Every structure is written in structure tokens, then in C-alpha cells.
């Protein structure tokens, strides 16, 4: 059985996490360099005008913030009845 004591101490960086996971014989998804993919996704979001989270896009229209969820729900249900105010 593996010694899990290292899991009880704070870990400072990604390299330490990767080494710990390897020592536990866990294949770490974090060990894969995803920085290029992250940069690509961030570029796509910026091009789409998405700067904040959460952002919802419905039929090409952007809605920033969760306060728009009632309106989006109304729109998704076919705009039946009065729109939420």
C-alpha cells in the first residue's frame, strides 16, 4: 500500500503535483502541457466578445452574468407569456 502522508501537506506548484501523482502511480492529466490549447481557447473567446464568466450566447446575442438566466429560460421556451422583468 502506498504512503499517502504527502497528500496531507500543502503543494506549491504543478511540478510537485505531477511528481506526487506519478509516485502514487496515477497518470496525471495535469502532466500534459495544455498551455497551447488554453491560449487557443482564450483567443476564441476574446474573438467572440466573451470577457466575463458566466457568459451565455443565444442566437448570436451575448448575455453577461447569471441575472439573465430567467430571460434566457423564457427565450428557450419559445417566448411564451410575459418576459421576466
Q: Are residues 43 and 56 in the same domain?
A: yes
Q: Per-residue pLDDT for 9 more than 70?
A: no
Structural contact between residues 72 and 58, judged by C-beta atoms closer than 8 angstroms: yes
Q: Are residues 56 and 83 in the same domain?
A: yes
- Please give the share of the chain, as a percent, with pLDDT higher than 90: 32
Q: Per-residue pLDDT for 14 more than 80?
A: no
Q: Are residues 24 and 41 in the same domain?
A: no
Q: What is residue 13's predicted lDDT score, i.e. its pLDDT?
A: 73
Q: Are residues 21 and 2 in the same domain?
A: yes
Q: Work out how many domains the chain is built from and give that number.
A: 2
Helical spans, DSSP H, in 1-85: 14-23, 35-47, 69-76
Amino acid at each position: 500500500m502506498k504512503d499517502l502522508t504527502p497528500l496531507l501537506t500543502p503543494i506549491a506548484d504543478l511540478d510537485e503535483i505531477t511528481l506526487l501523482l506519478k509516485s502514487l502511480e496515477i497518470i496525471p492529466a495535469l502532466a500534459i502541457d495544455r498551455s497551447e490549447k488554453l491560449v487557443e481557447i482564450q483567443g476564441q473567446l476574446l474573438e467572440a466578445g466573451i470577457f466575463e464568466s458566466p457568459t451565455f450566447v443565444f442566437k448570436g446575442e451575448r448575455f453577461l452574468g447569471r441575472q439573465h438566466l430567467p430571460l434566457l429560460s423564457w427565450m428557450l421556451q419559445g417566448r411564451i407569456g410575459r418576459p421576466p422583468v
